Amino acid sequence: MTASPLVLGAMMFGTTIDEKTSFALLDRFVEAGGVWIDTADCYSFWASGSGHGGDSEALLGRWLAARPGVRDRVRIATKLGAEPRWPGSWPAQRAGLSPRAVREAFAGSLRRLGVDRVDLLWLHQEDRTVPIERTVDALAELVADGSVRRVGASNHPAWRVERARRHALDTGTVPIDAFQLSATYLRPRPGTQPPGNVQPFGVLGDEQRDYATEHGIEVWAYTPLLSGAYDNPDKEVPEVYDHPASTRRLAELDKAAAELGVPRGRVVLAWLLAHGVRPILGGSKLDQLDSALEGVRLELAPELLARLDAPV
């Protein structure tokens, strides 16, 4: 079976998505050739009774324990740095990326996941109170002992990633080789942020895209389907995307979906992949997962892709 490029986002597993449903989604994902599962140590503190994260990782740990052998078929990505220091303290007070915070947070992730390594460890949010070189040195220890295979950066500006990569290369450790950012077919108006995104560098921009291309950095996209707004008539496209360029792009998206006979969201996923961006699905229903798996298998003809790219 060909591996699916789709990433399964486990953000709400164990909180708003119950264990039975979460297990069903995970099982279906693996059966369909899914490989990458994405979580974080802070998921999902805002929906947790404790005000802290950890429920998603703990649920994944129970699923892995209940499915002997499945660990060899999947790759686990988790994040650290954004966990609230105490309930209600986020975003002003979070764990951050000091060497001590990195070590302690990662130890907690391994314990909850019930594993001895992760395949990709993300720096969740930048921490300018700590020199990025110190964070890289802490990550280097985890890479050296075999508990981390790859390192990525989520919601970081390109210049800090460059500084981190330079230090990693100079000191002989694994450099950041992946970005995780908000990205979809539409672009928000300049100076605005999509709903729920409080990071000033959380949206994939031209500079980050160019840097990733030049340095062979993989790009992952969260919220690629705008929480279902492309296809669910009960959900509106967020207001930050309401501008003339979006009107033209949505018209082209409508045409493409009609010609292909598929929902608009599937075209969006195919468009992202055509541009080298790996989408993360955070759906809560099996039919949403099935549709996304179909979307990433969709190939857009060059002329159709050119039409979708043309409106700017």
pTM over 0.95: yes
Q: Across residues 141-155, what is the average pLDDT?
A: 98
pLDDT tens string 190-201 = 888 898 887 889
Residue 67 vs residue 191, higher pLDDT: 67
Instruction: Please check whether residue 1 lies inside any domain of the structure.
Output: no
Angle of the 158-171 helix axis to the 206-215 helix axis, nearest 10: 20
The set of catalytic residues is 43
Residue 249 resides in a domain: no
In Å, how far are 12, 39, 100, 226, 264 from 232, measured between CA atoms?
20, 25, 44, 10, 10
- Tell me the pairing of strands 218-222 and 176-182: parallel
What is the extent of the structural domain holding 118?
7-241+263-301
Asked if the structure places residue 311 within a domain, the reply is no
- How far apart, in whole angstroms, are the C-alpha atoms of residue 96 and residue 261? 46
Long-range CB pairs of 15-24 (<8 Å, 24+ gap) are: 15/43, 15/44, 15/47, 15/48, 15/55, 15/56, 16/44, 16/47, 16/284, 17/284, 19/59, 19/62, 21/284, 22/59, 22/63, 23/63, 23/66, 24/286
248 in a domain, yes or no?
no
Q: Residue 1: pLDDT above 80?
A: no
Q: How many domains does the chain have?
A: 1
Contact present, 120 and 151 (Cβ < 8 Å):
yes
Residue 312 has pLDDT above 70, yes or no: no
Mean pLDDT throughout 178-187? 97
Q: Is residue 224 part of a domain?
A: yes
Q: Is residue 145 part of a domain?
A: yes
Q: What is the pLDDT of residues 204-241, one digit of tens each?
A: 999 999 999 999 999 999 999 999 999 999 999 999 99
Is 189 a member of any domain? yes
Q: What is the CATH number of the domain that holds 217?
A: 3.20.20.100
Give domain status of residue 119, yes or no: yes
The H or E element containing residue 163 is helix 158-171
